[in-house]
């Protein structure tokens, strides 16, 4: 029903956050995706995460490439700065933007076509640079806008709507990210908002590149029998191996944490991530351990989800590059231009 | 045959044939710099291979008291240090000229020419005796011939030793070796040859207000002075040194001495697709940002150049052109990207181009590029080339106007937005066809959705023909309006002229020299060097005023001529091409030949003085 202009309705129970904004203030335009699309659930989770983190809308930059996933930034936080760029090129644009203005919060929304095929090179290099941004892959194993071709994340043997089985090995963004040194790696499921929201919040506060791969079934082209990215298949095989709670810095810790919380990880800004329900042999801060655990369970046909790996010592691109704390966009001409006297002096060496 | 004995003071050309990777580059630039310091107009052109070690490489030095320092292939003296290329090197010397060679081994008799004087110095032998280390023996052979040339050509030895002192101030051992090598070569020449030759250098006063600088360094300096803070780039010959220099200047001028904090961010990208993306992202945020590349990089950037054009994001792109197509000849020069850049990307796109002719203009045009990009909210290309970018040029000392303030164009401040009821990105437009933009994070009212997809004048998504066209038409108006804001053409009229010669960029010196040669042969030509695209009204007026015009450029397909026929009202029938595209810098002789072979006879007969 995308032709309907979204009505502005404010339920009296909508509670304002510390900025005086309600959940509605974090919403965007009406979605034009298919009814039941997993992406819309992710959008709702992003809305909630930003609302709960009291993010000022105009201090948010939301970027995307091209594809169904890349349409979604229009559907959240109308008051933020959006950039719907070109196919597979969002990571570079976000990198440049973050280089210029480190004060904004950056969210990149991408898909498996956008990130794992045409934009694979850009995504992995943004991970290597550790650009401070939340990077969400809305992963459905299929090209939706061009009507149902397999994407690079399609599992071997997974069937297309027409019954054709995929024969090429899939690219797994989680394993890839772990392998190349990503500092925040998560996987979730669009049908599990309770798990997803805290992951997104932690990702938004992470001092570096936070990769969140979200299985997000395509109801039109990849939700049938034989698909390994359908709602049914994912619900059946999802293995939430750990739950994360995100506790923002300075928030009063009132939640009651049960015994057996294996890990509390402090983030760069003082926020905490508390892991619960952790499998006994799982350490979310040990890269090698995480990789072998995931490999083992994925081999068994399971889809392990949760905030899978977190490097608390992560340093983002700016800290590594020793950039000034003031955003470069705010430096004055005087701070940047050496002036004529310096030019004269410099040219003494050009004789 | 020119007379060997005819005295040529401050007017001759040398060619030095070397082996790549033997240290000849520093010997040759030392030589050129010494001549510069003697106050004599000089140029040095490095004709090098795409190779790190082993292949033949050449360096040409031209000295000309009148300032004609374009490349010439009329070599008076050849320094033949590469046995592999002896045959062709010896052949290239003019009749009556000299060949200086390493006589440690006998020269093949078949190479000898009766009309050339051979000067043999046993460089390998001398250096083997004087130095122990094998690498040093190789390097010092080159320094040694600098000494010989000093004796043969009257290079001021005080100047040379002064330069060595500066260069090796912190490496006394190296200074000693260099001094010794130079002296060896010098003494040998004095003892064995009649020094100096009739080719001679004599101190002048023509370079005291000049500097020696390459175009890439000057471009980088311009970017620093313009206030660029973010650079996204990918290594590629011949543009890499733009970023090397930018980094060096930023370390010097933009790094806090106490904290080490940097007021810049240089991003070495994974490829050019990412490099241009970074520039667009940074510019979207409001930073002055640029990339530097060469033709292959522009090819890769095409998609996002269209995004920047359509979403109206200021973008500065430096293209140091090299020989294409494909990998082409990466270490050779050409002006082959004119059309590629003018219309880069799919759909209807047109861009602002700037054509610097020398490092001085590289510096100033870099600053112009940022002002134009922000004023017109669009990509701007600086089309330099390998000859300008990588060779040292003698140019007037750079001056900076401290009252300069960046032209940020139409950007709404927090206060502006506070006062506005509502902001729309692409409306209303100003007299240039430009609409105000906002920078993210400044004010809640300034938020909008930037997109490369179809949008209407309010910035909203559209697929409606009229709404789409309305924006595209404004972009065309905006591009047209920039024509009188790009640097104006350099126009020089000659009394009694019958034809016009039009050129651009690094052809400047050769064409100017050709004007004098043509004049001496009875052909008087007016001169125009275009410095920007779209073409200003001055360009159209010049084209209108001439019956026959010669377009001189360095590419096969007459790209500037094509652009003129597409973008002006000038009929192509009156535009004649003079083309040189083999990869070496243009020579005046090529221009003269090209004009004389095509000129309408009636016009060839201008009245002589």
A251-260, A333-342, B122-131, B319-328: least confident range: A251-260
Which residue is closest to B217 within chain A, CA to CA?
Answer: A350
Based on the domain organization, do B149 and B259 belong to the same domain?
A: no
- For residues B129-140, give the mean pLDDT: 94
Interchain CB distance below 8 Å, A81 and B447 = yes
Percent of chain A with pLDDT over 90: 76
Q: Does A5 touch chain B (CB under 8 A)?
A: no
**pLDDT of A261 above 80:** no
Is residue B405, in this structure, part of any structural domain at all? no
Compute chain A's Rg from CA coordinates. 21
How many Å separate Cα A221 from the centre of its chain? 23
Chain A residues 259-318 with a CB less than 8 Å from chain B: 318
Based on the domain organization, do B451 and B528 belong to the same domain?
A: no
A90-100 and A120-129 are packed helices; what angle lies between their axes, rounded to 10 degrees?
A: 30
- For residues A21-47, give the mean pLDDT: 95
**pLDDT of A337 above 60:** yes
Q: Does B157 touch chain A (CB under 8 A)?
A: no
pLDDT at A245: 80
- Chain A hits for B307, CB-CB cut-off 8 Å, are 85-86, 89
A195–chain B nearest CA distance, Å: 30
Chain A residues 58-87 with a CB less than 8 Å from chain B: 58-59, 61, 63, 73-74, 78-86
Based on the domain organization, do B261 and B155 belong to the same domain?
A: no
- For residues B139-162, give the mean pLDDT: 96
What is the rounded CA–CA span in Å between residue B582 and residue A165?
Answer: 54
Q: What is the CATH number of the domain that holds B166?
A: 3.40.920.10
Say which residues have a Cβ less than 8 Å from residue B346's Cβ, sequence separation at least 6. Answer: B302, B303, B306
User: Smallest Cβ distance to B439: which of A74, A89, A329?
Assistant: A329
- Chain A hits for B444, CB-CB cut-off 8 Å, are 56-58, 79
Q: Does B232 touch chain A (CB under 8 A)?
A: yes
Interchain CB distance below 8 Å, A318 and B453 = no
Q: Does B476 touch chain A (CB under 8 A)?
A: no
Number of alpha carbons in the 13 Å side-chain half-sphere of residue B545: 18
Interchain CB distance below 8 Å, B261 and A323 = yes
pLDDT at B245: 98
**pLDDT of B71 above 80:** yes
The dihedral built from the CA positions of residue B201, B203, B205 and B208, taken in this order, carries a sign that is: positive
What is the rounded CA–CA span in Å between residue B214 and residue B451?
Answer: 39
Interchain CB distance below 8 Å, B441 and A81 = yes
- For residues A12-32, give the mean pLDDT: 91
What is the rounded CA–CA span in Å between residue B237 and residue B274?
Answer: 18
A115–chain B nearest CA distance, Å: 14
- Chain A hits for B261, CB-CB cut-off 8 Å, are 322-325
Based on the domain organization, do B301 and B346 belong to the same domain?
A: yes
- Containing structural domain, residue B541: 490-604
Based on the domain organization, do B494 and B476 belong to the same domain?
A: no
What is the rounded CA–CA span in Å between residue B359 and residue B393?
Answer: 7
What is the rounded CA–CA span in Å between residue A98 and residue B317?
Answer: 20
Among A97, A105, A110, pick the best mutation site for testing chain B contact (most B Cβ within 10 A).
A97
B424–chain A nearest CA distance, Å: 13
**pLDDT of A334 above 90:** yes
Q: Tokens standing for A43? A: 């959008």
Based on the domain organization, do B511 and B452 belong to the same domain?
A: no
Mean pLDDT across chain A = 90
A223-232, A244-253, B4-13, B551-560: least confident range: A244-253
**pLDDT of B361 above 50:** yes
User: Smallest Cβ distance to A100: which of B229, B274, B303?
Assistant: B229
Question: Contact B406/A332 with Cβ under 8 angstroms?
Answer: no
Query: Strand B379-385 and strand B499-504: pairing?
Result: unpaired
Based on the domain organization, do B107 and B248 belong to the same domain?
A: no
Q: Does A3 touch chain B (CB under 8 A)?
A: no
For A194-211, the pLDDT digits (tens) are 999 999 999 999 999 999
Give the confidence band of A253 by pLDDT, cuts at 50, 70, 90: very low
Based on the domain organization, do B286 and B318 belong to the same domain?
A: yes
Say which residues have a Cβ less than 8 Å from residue B528's Cβ, sequence separation at least 6. Answer: B489, B490, B491, B492, B500, B501, B502, B503, B539, B542
Interchain CB distance below 8 Å, B441 and A58 = yes
Question: Contact B553/B529 with Cβ under 8 angstroms?
Answer: no
What is the rounded CA–CA span in Å between residue A213 and residue A115?
Answer: 11
Which residue is closest to B441 within chain A, CA to CA?
Answer: A59
For B558-599, the pLDDT digits (tens) are 999 999 999 999 999 999 999 999 999 999 999 999 999 999
What is the rounded CA–CA span in Å between residue B496 and residue B425?
Answer: 53
Residue with the two structure tokens 């000229």: B97
- Chain B hits for A122, CB-CB cut-off 8 Å, are 270, 273-274, 277
- Chain B hits for A118, CB-CB cut-off 8 Å, are none
Question: Contact B70/B7 with Cβ under 8 angstroms?
Answer: no
Q: Tokens standing for B385? A: 């080339």
- For residues B502-524, give the mean pLDDT: 97
Interchain CB distance below 8 Å, A324 and B406 = no
Burial of A58 from C-beta contacts in 10 A (0-12 / 13-18 / 19+):
buried
For B248-278, the pLDDT digits (tens) are 999 999 999 999 999 999 999 999 999 999 9
Give the confidence band of A268 by pLDDT, cuts at 50, 70, 90: confident
Domain A23-330 has CATH 1.10.8.50: no
Question: Contact B253/A338 with Cβ under 8 angstroms?
Answer: yes
Which backbone phi and psi does A26 adopt, to 5 degrees? -105, 5
Interchain CB distance below 8 Å, B211 and A335 = no
Q: Does B408 touch chain A (CB under 8 A)?
A: no
Interface confidence: ipTM more than 0.90: yes
Interchain CB distance below 8 Å, B441 and A82 = no
Q: Where are the beta strands (DSSP E) in B196-313?
A: 199-200, 210-214, 230-233, 265-268, 289-293
Chain A residues 89-108 with a CB less than 8 Å from chain B: 89, 91-101, 103-104
Mean pLDDT across chain B = 96
**pLDDT of B395 above 80:** yes
The dihedral built from the CA positions of residue B275, B276, B281 and B283, taken in this order, carries a sign that is: positive
Question: Contact A347/B207 with Cβ under 8 angstroms?
Answer: no
Number of domain units in chain B: 4
Say which residues have a Cβ less than 8 Å from residue A146's Cβ, sequence separation at least 6. Answer: none
Is residue B407, in this structure, part of any structural domain at all? no
Which residue is closest to B308 within chain A, CA to CA?
Answer: A85
pLDDT at A242: 73
Percent of chain B with pLDDT over 90: 96
Q: What is the CATH number of the domain that holds B280?
A: 3.40.50.970
Q: Would you kindly state where each structural domain of chain A is located, as residue ranges?
A: 23-330
For A112-144, the pLDDT digits (tens) are 999 999 999 999 999 999 999 999 999 999 998
pLDDT at A243: 75
Q: Tokens standing for B307? A: 């995004």
How many Å separate Cα A324 from the centre of its chain? 26
**pLDDT of B358 above 70:** yes
pLDDT at B67: 96
Based on the domain organization, do B48 and B126 belong to the same domain?
A: yes
Question: Contact B292/B243 with Cβ under 8 angstroms?
Answer: yes
Number of alpha carbons in the 13 Å side-chain half-sphere of residue A288: 0
Nearest CA to B143 out of B120, B176, B106, B190 is that of B176
Based on the domain organization, do B119 and B32 belong to the same domain?
A: yes
A147-156, A279-288, A339-348, B420-429: least confident range: A279-288
Interchain CB distance below 8 Å, B307 and A328 = no
Residue with the two structure tokens 């401290």: B402
Q: Tabulate helix, strand, coil % of chain B (nearest 5).
A: 40, 20, 35
Based on the domain organization, do B174 and B42 belong to the same domain?
A: yes
Q: What is the CATH number of the domain that holds B573?
A: 3.40.50.920
Q: How far is CA B295 from CA B239, B276, B338, B558, in A?
A: 10, 14, 10, 17
User: Smallest Cβ distance to B451: which of A84, A103, A340?
Assistant: A84
In total, the C-beta contacts within 8 angstroms joining chain A to chain B are: 215
Q: Rounded to 10 degrees, what is the CA torsion of B367, B370, B375, B381?
A: 110
What is the rounded CA–CA span in Å between residue B144 and residue B139?
Answer: 9
Based on the domain organization, do B78 and B113 belong to the same domain?
A: yes
Is residue B121, in this structure, part of any structural domain at all? yes
């Amino acid at each position: 029903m995308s032709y309907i202009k979204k009505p502005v309705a404010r339920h009296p129970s909508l509670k304002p956050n510390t900025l005086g904004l309600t959940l509605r203030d974090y919403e965007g335009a009406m979605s034009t995706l298919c009814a039941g699309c997993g992406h819309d659930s992710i959008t709702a989770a992003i809305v909630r995460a930003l609302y709960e983190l009291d993010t000022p809308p105009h201090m948010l930059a939301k970027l995307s490439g091209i594809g169904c996933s890349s349409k979604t930034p229009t559907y959240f936080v109308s008051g933020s700065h959006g950039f719907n760029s070109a196919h597979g090129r969002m990571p570079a644009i976000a990198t440049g933007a973050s280089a210029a203005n480190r004060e904004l919060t950056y969210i990149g929304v991408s898909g498996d076509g956008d990130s794992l095929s045409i934009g694979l090179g850009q995504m992995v290099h943004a991970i290597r640079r550790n650009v401070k941004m939340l990077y969400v892959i809305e992963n459905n194993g299929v090209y939706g806008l061009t009507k149902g071709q397999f994407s690079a994340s399609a599992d071997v043997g997974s069937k297309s709507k027409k019954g054709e089985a995929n024969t090429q090995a899939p690219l797994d963004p989680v394993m890839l990210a772990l392998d190349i040194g990503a500092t925040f790696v998560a996987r979730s499921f669009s049908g599990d908002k309770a798990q997803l929201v805290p992951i997104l919040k932690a990702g938004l506060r992470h001092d570096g590149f936070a990769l969140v791969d979200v299985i997000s079934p395509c109801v039109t082209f990849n939700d049938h029998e034989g698909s390994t990215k359908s709602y049914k298949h994912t619900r059946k095989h999802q293995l939430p191996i750990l739950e994360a709670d995100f506790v923002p810095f300075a928030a009063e810790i009132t939640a009651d944490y049960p015994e057996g919380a294996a890990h509390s990880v402090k983030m760069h800004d003082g926020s905490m991530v508390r892991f619960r329900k952790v499998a006994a042999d799982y350490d979310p801060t040990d890269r090698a351990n995480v990789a072998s655990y995931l490999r083992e369970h994925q081999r068994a046909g399971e889809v392990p989800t949760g905030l899978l790996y977190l490097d608390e010592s992560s340093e983002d691109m700016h800290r590594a590059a020793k950039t000034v704390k003031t955003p470069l966009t705010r430096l004055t001409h005087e701070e940047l231009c050496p002036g004529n006297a310096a030019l004269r002096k410099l040219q003494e060496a050009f004789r | 045959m020119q007379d060997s004995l005819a005295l040529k003071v401050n007017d001759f050309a040398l060619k030095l044939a070397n082996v790549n990777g033997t240290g000849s580059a520093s010997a040759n630039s030392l030589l050129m710099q010494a001549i510069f310091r003697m106050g004599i107009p000089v140029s040095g052109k490095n004709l090098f291979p795409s190779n790190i070690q082993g292949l033949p490489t050449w360096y040409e030095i031209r000295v000309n008291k009148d300032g004609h320092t374009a490349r010439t292939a009329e070599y008076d003296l050849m320094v033949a240090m590469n046995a592999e290329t002896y045959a062709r090197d010896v052949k290239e010397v003019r009749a009556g000229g000299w060949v200086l060679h390493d006589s440690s081994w006998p020269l093949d008799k078949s190479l000898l020419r009766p009309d050339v004087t051979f000067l043999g110095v046993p460089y390998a032998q001398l250096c083997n005796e004087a130095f122990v280390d094998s690498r040093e023996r190789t390097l010092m052979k080159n320094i040694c011939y600098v000494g010989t040339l000093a004796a043969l050509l009257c290079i001021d030895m005080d100047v040379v030793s002064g330069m060595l002192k500066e260069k090796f101030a912190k490496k006394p051992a190296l200074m000693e070796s260099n001094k010794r090598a130079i002296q060896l070569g010098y003494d040998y020449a004095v003892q064995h040859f009649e020094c100096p030759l009739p080719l001679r250098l004599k101190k002048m006063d023509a370079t005291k207000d000049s500097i020696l600088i390459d175009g890439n360094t000057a471009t980088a300096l311009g970017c620093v002075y313009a206030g660029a803070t973010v650079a996204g780039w990918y290594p590629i010959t011949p543009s890499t040194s733009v970023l090397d220099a930018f980094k060096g200047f930023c370390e010097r001028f933009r790094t806090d001495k106490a904290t080490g904090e940097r007021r810049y961010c240089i991003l070495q990208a994974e490829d050019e697709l990412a490099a241009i993306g970074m520039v667009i992202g940074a510019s979207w945020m409001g930073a002055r940002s640029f990339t530097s590349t060469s033709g292959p990089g522009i090819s890769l950037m095409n998609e996002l150049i269209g995004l920047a054009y359509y979403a109206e994001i200021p973008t500065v792109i430096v293209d140091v052109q090299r020989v294409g197509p494909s990998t082409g000849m990466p270490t050779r020069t050409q002006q082959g990207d004119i059309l590629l850049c003018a219309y880069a990307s799919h759909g209807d796109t047109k861009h602002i181009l700037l054509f610097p002719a020398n490092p001085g203009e590289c510096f100033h045009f870099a600053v112009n590029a940022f002002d134009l990009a922000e004023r017109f909210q669009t990509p701007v290309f600086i089309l330099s080339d390998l000859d300008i970018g990588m060779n040292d040029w003698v140019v007037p000392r750079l001056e900076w106007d401290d009252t300069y303030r960046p032209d940020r164009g139409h950007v709404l401040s927090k206060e502006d937005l506070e006062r506005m009821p509502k902001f729309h990105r692409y409306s209303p437009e100003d007299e240039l066809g430009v609409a105000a933009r906002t920078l993210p994070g400044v004010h809640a009212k300034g938020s909008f959705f930037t997109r490369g997809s179809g949008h209407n004048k309010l910035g909203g998504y559209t697929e409606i023909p009229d709404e789409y066209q309305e924006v595209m038409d404004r972009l065309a108006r905006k591009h047209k309006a920039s024509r009188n804001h790009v640097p104006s053409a350099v126009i020089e009229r000659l009394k009694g002229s019958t034809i016009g010669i039009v050129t651009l960029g690094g052809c400047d010196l050769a064409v100017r020299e050709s004007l004098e040669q043509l004049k001496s042969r009875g052909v008087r030509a007016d001169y125009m060097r275009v410095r920007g695209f779209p073409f200003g009204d001055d360009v159209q007026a010049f084209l209108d005023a001439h019956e026959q015009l010669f377009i001189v450029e360095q590419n096969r397909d007459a790209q500037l001529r094509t652009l003129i026929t597409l973008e002006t009202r000038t009929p192509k029938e009156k535009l004649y091409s003079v083309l040189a595209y083999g990869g070496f810098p243009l020579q005046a002789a090529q221009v003269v030949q090209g004009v004389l072979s095509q000129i309408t006879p009636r016009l060839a007969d201008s009245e002589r003085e």
